[in-house]
Amino acid sequence: MTHNFLNIPEEIYLLSIDENGNQHQSLKNENFDLVISAALLMDLALLHRIDSDQTYIFTDKTEQIGDILLDGVLDEIIEYNNNRRIENWISYLSIHGQFFRDEIITSLVHKTVLKIENEKVLWFFSKRKYPRIDDTELEEVQSRIRNLIFGNEIPDERDIVIVSILYNSNLLGTVFSEEEITKYDKRIVQIAKMDFIGQAIGSVLKEYNISIFDSIIKSKSAEEMLEEHVQSLKKKFRVTNDDNLPAWIRKGTKQYEETLKYVREVGTAEITFNPKLKKYSKINYGYYQSAFGE
């Protein structure tokens, strides 16, 4: 395996899942979409396709890379002609989060890092899972980052980017224990701040307060869960006036009460509403497919 066998978004995704292919609970939502969007931008920076100041991202080289996700993002940056702020790029790209997740999983399956397993649910549906085939690639990235933090070696650019993403997204817990994070805090911060574009992107990610240590397991009421979901949507899509929210998540409407009822029924606020069909459904992040599928 070469050092660049996986791209940075793939390594970050691999760090986010357990041996069964399930993501940490706090990353099964739009939080992780923001992280992957930042990872794509930082990978492009590492490959010298983009650069940034503290406010804007702009193109450097425009040659295609041969990676469907990276080339797609690069094309959009080129098309937008360097006029979009960093935080707007992260927010905009995260809207495509499910596509990014699906493509990352497809790539990791193709590279024989993950495998496909169908688990029967009831008698005609199956739940598709993507567990690791072995721990080789995961151990490679974990050991790289751990050895870097525990030692005194000068890091290469790629590992600086990985540490920067983990630090600025509060995802160090995917590699280190809380005790280790406390003990090696100075070294972690020192390395995370070596990457200029990482600092710029990281300052934006910190605004979202993403954390793997979020106590999501605590029991919350439907009102609390829905309020958190609405607030995350408002932040993600830069909604500042509640009057601009759709009726199904706008307090004071009759449909908002219907939404609360649905949240109580399914036990999660990670839901969406189809206005044409007038139907609620849980958000699908690409992990589950019908047994009728391929």
Asked whether residue 22 is domain-assigned, the answer is yes
Q: Is residue 39 part of a domain?
A: yes
Count CB-CB contacts under 10 A for residue 280. 17
Do 144 and 120 belong together in one domain?
yes
- Residue 273 CB partners (closer than 8 Å, separation 6+): 246, 248, 259, 279, 280, 281
- Residue 120 has, within 13 A of its CA and on its CB side, a CA count of 3
Is residue 214 in a domain? no
Longest CA–CA span in the chain (Å) reads 60
In this structure, the answer to whether residues 200 and 236 fall within a common structural domain is no
| Residue carrying structure tokens 């009460």 | 257
Please, which residues have CB within 8 angstroms of residue 54's CB and are 6 or more apart in sequence? Answer: 200
- The CATH number given to whatever domain includes residue 22 is 1.10.3630.10
Q: Which residue has the higher pLDDT, 196 or 289?
A: 196
**Alpha-carbon dihedral angle through residues 132, 23, 165, 181, given to the nearest 10 degrees:** -100
Question: Is the pTM for the entire model greater than 0.75?
Answer: no
DSSP string, 115-134: --EEEEETTTEEEEE--BS-
Beta carbons of 207 and 170 less than 8 angstroms apart: no
Kindly tell me the number of DSSP H helices and DSSP E strands found in the chain. 12, 6
Q: Number of structural domains, the chain?
A: 2
Shared-domain flag, residues 66 and 170: yes
| Site of tokens 């905009």 | 92
The rounded distance, in Å, linking the Cα atoms of 43 and 40 is 5
Q: Which of 51, 47, 73, 49 is CA-nearest to residue 62?
A: 49
Q: Please check the confidence at residue 104 and state whether its pLDDT lies above 90.
A: yes
Whether residue 198 sits in one domain with residue 226? no
Interval 160-180 mean pLDDT: 89
| Phi, psi for residue 87 in degrees, rounded to 5 | -65, -30
Angle, helix 222-236 to helix 30-46, in steps of 10 degrees? 30
* Pair (73, 189) in one structural domain: yes
177-232: pLDDT as tens digits: 989 999 999 999 999 888 777 777 776 776 766 654 443 334 578 898 899 888 88
Identify the pLDDT of residue 2.
Answer: 38
Provide the domain limits for residue 200. Answer: 8-207
Reported as a single tens digit per residue, the pLDDT across 63-100 is: 999 998 999 999 999 988 777 888 888 888 988 888 89
Contact 132, 19 (CB under 8 A): yes
In a domain, 93, yes or no: yes
In a domain, 288, yes or no: no
What is the rounded CA–CA span in Å between residue 245 and residue 249?
A: 7
- Strands annotated E in the chain: 50-52, 57-59, 117-121, 125-129, 271-274, 279-282
Q: Which residue has the higher pLDDT, 21 or 61?
A: 61
